[in-house]
Amino acid sequence: MKIEARIFELLTAFFFLAGIVYTICTAFSSRGVEWAGVTGMFFSGGLTLIAGTYFRFVARRVEIRPEDYEDAEVEDGAGELGFFSPGSWWPIAIAAGAAMFAIGFATGNFWFAIFSALVIMGTAAGLVFEYHVGPEKH
pLDDT digits over 71-119, tens only? 888 888 787 767 777 788 999 999 999 999 999 999 999 999 999 999 9
Identify the pLDDT of residue 133: 67
Identify the pLDDT of residue 45: 97
**pLDDT, tens digit (0-9, with 9 covering 90-100), for 107-120:** 999 999 999 999 99
Task: Report, as an integer, the average pLDDT of 5-27.
Answer: 95
> Within a 13 Å sphere around the CA of 79, how many CA atoms are in the beta-carbon half?
4
Residues contacting residue 127 through CB under 8 Å, at least 6 positions apart? 88, 90, 91, 94
Q: Are 45 and 74 in contact (CB under 8 A)?
A: no
What are the extents of the domains in the chain? 2-77, 90-137
